[in-house]
Amino acid sequence: MSEDVLPLSSALPSDALMHILSFLDAPGLVSAFASGDQKIGSLSERDVLWKDLRRRRWEGKHNTRVFLLDEQRSAKESYRLAELDSRRKSIGRDEFCRLRWMLVYNGVPSRMGLRSFGADGTYMSPYFGQPCPWEIVDNCLLFSGLRLPIERNENNWGWIVGGGSNTVYYSVDVDDN
């Protein structure tokens, strides 16, 4: 750039630049930061932009509250960590037990409420009337003679157990409060 030509950012007030930056997605904000323009780079790191982007991106997504718990973490960092987590392909036992599950049997959602899998390795089915043991092996749920694969729901970042079978469980994002 010629020394006699000023960058566009120097001609615009910060609030106008912030408004322009608010229309960018995450790659756009990262590009703005890397643009070499100090003013735009500094503004693109502001939490207010990343909080708004996070709100828009996370709407309807599961498993995002955990990334808001650390108040020391910037909005940009919580956004980055949630994006990485959304690509995770396996679920741990503790997380599996914390979630609630909606059963869909033969394409019909159960009317008997959300299900849960106990940390003690038992599943209480309203249909069976007694606890049955369960475990996760090779990213499959094993219980009641079934082997149901566990996969990520890429649309909402939740989980699907038994996709494509007659017995399907969908994770439900419930508030722990």
Residue 153: how many CA atoms within 13 Å on its side-chain side?
Answer: 20
Instruction: Indicate whether 70 and 134 sit together in one domain.
Output: no
pLDDT at 138 (0 to 100):
96
Which of 86, 102, 136 is the last residue before a domain boundary?
86
pLDDT at 1 (0 to 100):
46
Q: Comparing 5-9, 14-18, 72-76, 137-141, which segment has the lowest mean pLDDT? A: 5-9
Would the pLDDT of 7 be above 80?
Answer: no
Instruction: Indicate whether 132 and 74 sit together in one domain.
Output: no
Instruction: Indicate whether 98 and 67 sit together in one domain.
Output: no
pLDDT at 9 (0 to 100):
72
Instruction: Indicate whether 82 and 103 sit together in one domain.
Output: no
Would the pLDDT of 147 be above 90?
Answer: yes
State the CATH number of the domain containing residue 166.
2.40.128
Would the pLDDT of 176 be above 60?
Answer: no
- Write out the residue range of the structural domain in which residue 111 sits: 93-172
Instruction: Indicate whether 33 and 98 sit together in one domain.
Output: no
Q: Is 25 exposed, middle or buried (0-12, 13-18, 19+ CB in 10 A)?
A: exposed
Mean pLDDT of the residues in the chain: 89
List pLDDT tens digits, range 23-75.
988 988 888 888 888 888 899 999 999 999 999 999 999 988 888 888 889 99
Instruction: Indicate whether 81 and 113 sit together in one domain.
Output: no
